[in-house]
Amino acid sequence: MTDKVSKEKRSEIMSHVKSKDTSIELMVRKHLYANGIKYRKNVKSIIGTPDISIKKYKIAVFVNGCFCTFLC
């Protein structure tokens, strides 16, 4: 299936897509903070650069669009 949008237009569209501090990610972080859970965000030293990492529980959280994926 071919793309209906030109290469330049696709590049412009994708440049507006946020990769950090999305609304869903902010909701998850607010919930963690409200429950007193300490976390780090966008940790580059962990493979895959998770959106949120909780060192105490050895959890990496990857927030993808409308749902979250948890890896332990």
Burial 48-66 (b: 16+ CB within 10 A, else e): eebbbbbeeeeebbbbeee
Torsion of Cα atoms, 35 then 48 then 22 then 12, to 10° = 180
Domain boundaries, the chain: 19-71
Gap between the Cα atoms of 38 and 29, Å rounded: 10
- The pTM is what? 0.67
Q: Are 69 and 61 in contact, with CB atoms under 8 Å apart?
A: yes
For the stretch 11-59, pLDDT in tens is 888 888 777 888 888 999 999 999 999 999 999 999 988 999 999 999 9
